[in-house]
Structure 1
Amino acid sequence: MKKHLHYAFCILTLLIVATGCKKNRDTETIDIGKDAFVSATSLANLTKLQLQAAATLKGFSAYAALVQYDVDFYQITYKTTYKGNKINASGLLCIPKGMTSSPALLSAQHGTMFSDADAPSNFPNSFTGFELFASTGFITVIPDFVGYGVSKDIVHPYYDMQTSALAVTDMLQAVKYYLKDKNIAFSNKLFLVGYSEGGYVTMAAQKEIETNTTDNLTLTAAAEGAGGYDVTGMLAKVATVTTYPDPSFFALFMQAYNTTYNYNRPLTDFFTQPAATNIPSLLDGSKNSDQINAALPATLPALFNPTFYAALSNPTAETAFKAQVAANSFPNWYPVSPTRLYHGTADQNVYFETSQSTFNKFKAAGSSQLTLIPIPNGTHETSVTPMMVDALQWFKGF
C-alpha cells in the first residue's frame, strides 16, 4: 500500500510541476504581450463578397477564389524598440470570422513604401493584398514598420536587421495578448511571409524568433520573396551597372543608414546635386515611388556622388558603411525552420543573385529545411502573385 501511495504521490507531484511550468510559460507570454500592447481600434468589417471584389479591383484576382471568410480589421498600436528606446508603432490586425477551427497566426511583411498613406494600418484606404490571407483562414498581422503609421515622424530604418525584426515580433506579442484578452481562439502555429523589403524583414524576424528564446514565439514556416538579404552582394552588383529602375530605393537606403547609424553626413557625400538637396523633401511621406523616381536622375552615375559610387567597388573605401551593410546581411546564422526563398530570375530591382548567394551560404552552414524556388522570367512585379499563391498553399499543408 505504501508503495502505491508513494507512486501516486510522485505522479501527482509531476503533474503539479508540469502544470505549473505550463502556467508560468503562458503567463510569461501574456506578460510580454501586455507590456507591448497599447491599443486596438476597429477599422472595418468586410464580407467575403466585399473582399472578393476588392481582390479583383486591386489586381489580386488570383486570390479571389481562395477567399472564404468575412474579416474584422483593427489598427493595433504597440511598443517596439528603435535605437535603444521604446516607441509606439502600429500595424493592421485581420481576424477571420465564422471559422470552425482555431486559425493559425500569420505575419505578413509589405514591400518598400514611400507614402505615409500606404501604411497597412490606414486600411481600408490602403491595401497591400496581404489582407486577403485572413479571408483564407489565418489571423493575419501586417506591421506598418517603424517610420510609418503612428511612428511616421521617424526616418524608416530601411534594411536595419534588428529594428525590422522587432517591429514584427513585438507586434506578434501584442496581438497574442489582445487575442487572449478578448477570448479569440488561435492555434499554436505561426507563419511568416513577405516580399521585397518585406522578404528581408521576414527573414530578420525569423532570425529573431529562432535565436531569442525570451520571445516565447515558435515559428512553423517562413516564405520570403526577393528580399535582397545579401545586402553586400546587392551593392556590389549595383557598382557594376549604370541603370536602375528605382533610384528611389537608394535615396531611401542611404538616408536610412545616415540617420539610423548616426553618420549624420551631408547627403552630398552620397548623391549629386540637386538630388542631395531634394531627397529629404522627396522622402517626406507625401510622394509615392513613381513621383520620387521621376524627380531623380535616371542613371546611377548621375545619381551617386562619383567618389561614393567608385567606393562601392573599392574594398578599402567606405569601410564603416560596408561593415554595417555586412552586419545586416545575416552573418553567422542560418534558418532552421521550414523556409522557402522565392525570386524571379529576371528581377532587375532586387537581383536574383542575392537570393542564390544567400541560399548557398545557408545550405553550406547546415540549413536542412531550406528551398530556393526560382520563378522563371519573373520580374520584381510579376513574381509576387505566383509566390503568394504557392506560399499560401504550402502554409495550408501544415
Structure 2
Amino acid sequence: MRKWVPLCLAILPALAATAEANNLVSVHKNGALSPANFNTRAKAAIGDIHLATQTTEFYKIRYRSVDAKGRPAVLSGLLVLPHGGAPRGLIVFDHGTISHREAAPSRYTGAAKSSEEQAATLAFASGGYAIAMPDYPGLGDDKGIHPFPMARLSSPSSVDLIAPARAAAQQLHITVGRPLFITGYSEGGAIAMWTVRTLEQSPAMAAQLTASAPLSGPYDLSDVTPRSLLAPSANATVFAGRLYLMAYLMHTAYKNRGVKLTDYLAPAMALVVSRVFDRGLTDEVIVKRLVVTATLLRAKNSMDRLTTPRLREALRKTDPADPIMRELLENNCYDWSPRARMLLVCLQSDPLVTAENTHETLRAMRGRGVSLLTVQEHTLTSPTLTHITAIVPALLQARRFFDERGQTLSRTNPPQ
C-alpha cells in the first residue's frame, strides 16, 4: 500500500491543475438517491418507462464564469451523476424562473420535492446521462441581481458550466460520455436557446454539441412576451403569474439598469416591487404580496391600473429608445439559424409563456432556410396541462429526442 502513496501525491497536483484549467472551483456532495427511492418517485411522476438501476448522486459545484454585468464571478450549480457512470453524455438543463436564491438547483439534496431539479433528474438520470444545472447569476451563491428575463446575460452561466461539470465528474472518477445536449424550461428554454447559439459561434464548442431541446421559452421578448403579459385575464391565477413576471422584469431593470420604477409602475406597486424581491422571501410569498397590492389598487386582473402609459406604449410599439425595451430587443433569440439538431416543445394552451413564442421562432428559422430535419416542433395539446404541470411531459419529449440522437450518433460513430 505504501508504494502507492507517492504516486497518489504525484497525481493530485495534476488533477488540481486540470480542474483549474476547466474553471472548476469546488465540488461538494449534497446527497444521493437510491434506485428504490428513485423508482418510487419516477413511477409517481412519469410512469414506469424510465427506472434507475444505480444510485444517483447530487453535487454542488462552484465554477468561474461572469455575472450579469460581464464581470468575473464564481457561480454555483448542480451536477447529477449516476454512480456507475453516464455513457450517454452530459445534459445541461436550464431551470425556469425563480427569484429566491436558496431555491436554486445547487441547493438540491435529492430530497423528495416538487421541483424542476427532481423532474429533470427523474427524466434523464436513469437513461445514462449526467445532468448539469446552473443556478444563473444572482441566484445560488452569487449575491448579485438575477437579470430576469434577459437570457443572453444568463447564458454564460450555462456555457461555462460544461467544462467544470466534466472536470468534476473526472475528479469523482465517474465516466461521462462525449455527447452534449442542451435543454431548459420556461426562462431556461430561452437560456438554452442562447446557450446553443453561443456554442455554435465557436467551431471548437460547436463540435461538442449533439442536440438541443428548448422547452416553452420566451424567445421573443420584445413582442410576443410583452403582449401576453399585458393581456387581461379572467383567471386570477394566470393574472398572478403574469404580475409576478412583470414585477420581476421591472425589479431587474431597476436594480441592474437604474430605471425609475415610478416611470413604469403605479406608485404603490413601484414601492412594493422595489422592496419585495430583496428580502429573501420565497416566490410564493412574493406573488401573494404583489396580488394583495394589485387588489388594493383595484386591478381586476388587468395591468392597466398597475402600469403607466409609458410602459404600455413602449411595449406595444417596441420602442428601442426606451431602456427596458432596448434590452428586451437585445435579448431576443428566435430569428437565427441553428445547425445542430433541435426540438422545440411548447404547450398550446400556455397562458404565461404562450405557444406563439415557439411558433414564431419556427417561422423565423424556416424563413432563414433551416430545414425540417434540423429543427422540429412538438406541441403539447392536453387542455388539462398548465405552464407548471407541462414540465414533465416536455422533459419526456426532450428525453426521447436525445435518446434518438444518441443512438444515431452511436451508429454513425461506433466505438473503436
TM-score past 0.5 threshold: yes
Structure label with greater radius of gyration: 1
Distance (whole Å) between structure 2 residues aligned to residue 131 and residue 237 of structure 1: 34
1:273 alignment partner, one of 260, 267, 274: 267
SS in 2 for 1:207: helix
Distance (whole Å) between structure 2 residues aligned to residue 237 and residue 86 of structure 1: 35
Q: Deviations over 1:306-360 (max 9, x none)?
A: 3322332235575443232122112762211111111111110011111111110
Instruction: Say whether the 8 Å CA contact 1:161–1:328 is kept in structure 2.
Output: yes
Distance (whole Å) between structure 1 residues aligned to residue 251 and residue 204 of structure 2: 32
Instruction: Say whether the 8 Å CA contact 2:253–2:259 is kept in structure 1.
Output: no
Q: Deviations over 1:356-397 (max 9, x none)?
A: 111100111122210121111343123222211121122112
2:51 alignment partner, one of 57, 62, 67: 67
Q: Pick closer, same or farther for the CA change 1:266–1:50 going to 2, 3 Å.
A: same
Instruction: Say whether the 8 Å CA contact 1:109–1:143 is kept in structure 2.
Output: yes
Q: Deviations over 1:269-297 (max 9, x none)?
A: 22112111111332126333332222222
The amino acid of 1:146's aligned partner reads P
Q: Pick closer, same or farther for the CA change 1:239–1:86 going to 2, 3 Å.
A: closer
Q: Deviations over 1:17-57 (max 9, x none)?
A: xxxxxxxxxx9xx969625110000111221112233446x
**Which aligned pairs between 1:30-41 and structure 2 lie closer than 5 A?**
34-41=21-28
Distance (whole Å) between structure 2 residues aligned to residue 225 and residue 155 of structure 1: 24
Q: Does 1:305 align with 2:295?
A: no
Instruction: Say whether the 8 Å CA contact 1:228–1:354 is kept in structure 2.
Output: yes
Residue number in structure 1 paired with 2:411: none
1:251 alignment partner, one of 231, 238, 247: 247
Coordinate RMSD, CA, aligned: 2.5
Distance (whole Å) between structure 2 residues aligned to residue 176 and residue 98 of structure 1: 15
The offset of 1:64, in angstroms, is 5.5
Q: Pick closer, same or farther for the CA change 1:63–1:233 going to 2, 3 Å.
A: farther
SS in 2 for 1:249: helix
**Which aligned pairs between 1:105-116 and structure 2 lie closer than 5 A?**
105-116=90-101
The amino acid of 1:201's aligned partner reads I
The offset of 1:135, in angstroms, is 3.0
1:88 alignment partner, one of 68, 71, 74: 74
Distance (whole Å) between structure 2 residues aligned to residue 248 and residue 240 of structure 1: 12
Instruction: Say whether the 8 Å CA contact 2:334–2:364 is kept in structure 1.
Output: no
Q: TM-score, normalised by structure 2?
A: 0.80
Residue number in structure 2 paired with 1:42: 29
Distance (whole Å) between structure 1 residues aligned to residue 215 and residue 284 of structure 2: 22
Dislocated runs of 4+, deviation >4 Å = 30-33, 214-217, 315-318
Residue number in structure 1 paired with 2:120: 130
1:341 alignment partner, one of 323, 340, 344: 344
**Greater Cα shift, 164-173 or 154-163:** 154-163
**Which aligned pairs between 1:183-262 and structure 2 lie closer than 5 A?**
183-213=173-203, 215=205, 218-238=208-228, 241-243=231-233, 244-246=239-241, 247-260=243-256, 262=257
Residue number in structure 2 paired with 1:142: 133
Distance (whole Å) between structure 2 residues aligned to residue 192 and residue 204 of structure 1: 10
Distance (whole Å) between structure 2 residues aligned to residue 272 and residue 40 of structure 1: 45
1:98 alignment partner, one of 84, 102, 111: 84
Q: Does 1:327 align with 2:330?
A: yes
Instruction: Say whether the 8 Å CA contact 1:235–1:312 is kept in structure 2.
Output: no
Q: Deviations over 1:115-173 (max 9, x none)?
A: 2231111112664221222233211111111111111x211011323332210111111
Distance (whole Å) between structure 2 residues aligned to residue 285 and residue 371 of structure 1: 42
The offset of 1:249, in angstroms, is 0.8
Distance (whole Å) between structure 2 residues aligned to residue 331 and residue 62 of structure 1: 30
Q: Pick closer, same or farther for the CA change 1:315–1:381 going to 2, 3 Å.
A: closer
SS in 2 for 1:112: coil
Distance (whole Å) between structure 2 residues aligned to residue 66 and residue 294 of structure 1: 37
Instruction: Say whether the 8 Å CA contact 1:34–1:177 is kept in structure 2.
Output: no
Residue number in structure 2 paired with 1:23: none
Distance (whole Å) between structure 2 residues aligned to residue 330 and residue 315 of structure 1: 16
Residue number in structure 2 paired with 1:385: 392
SS in 2 for 1:348: coil
Instruction: Say whether the 8 Å CA contact 2:89–2:129 is kept in structure 1.
Output: yes
The amino acid of 1:358's aligned partner reads T
Instruction: Say whether the 8 Å CA contact 1:81–1:163 is kept in structure 2.
Output: no
Q: TM-score, normalised by structure 1?
A: 0.84
| Percent pairwise identity | 23
Distance (whole Å) between structure 2 residues aligned to residue 253 and residue 102 of structure 1: 40
Aligned length: 363
The amino acid of 1:61's aligned partner reads A
Instruction: Say whether the 8 Å CA contact 1:33–1:173 is kept in structure 2.
Output: no
Residue number in structure 1 paired with 2:169: 179
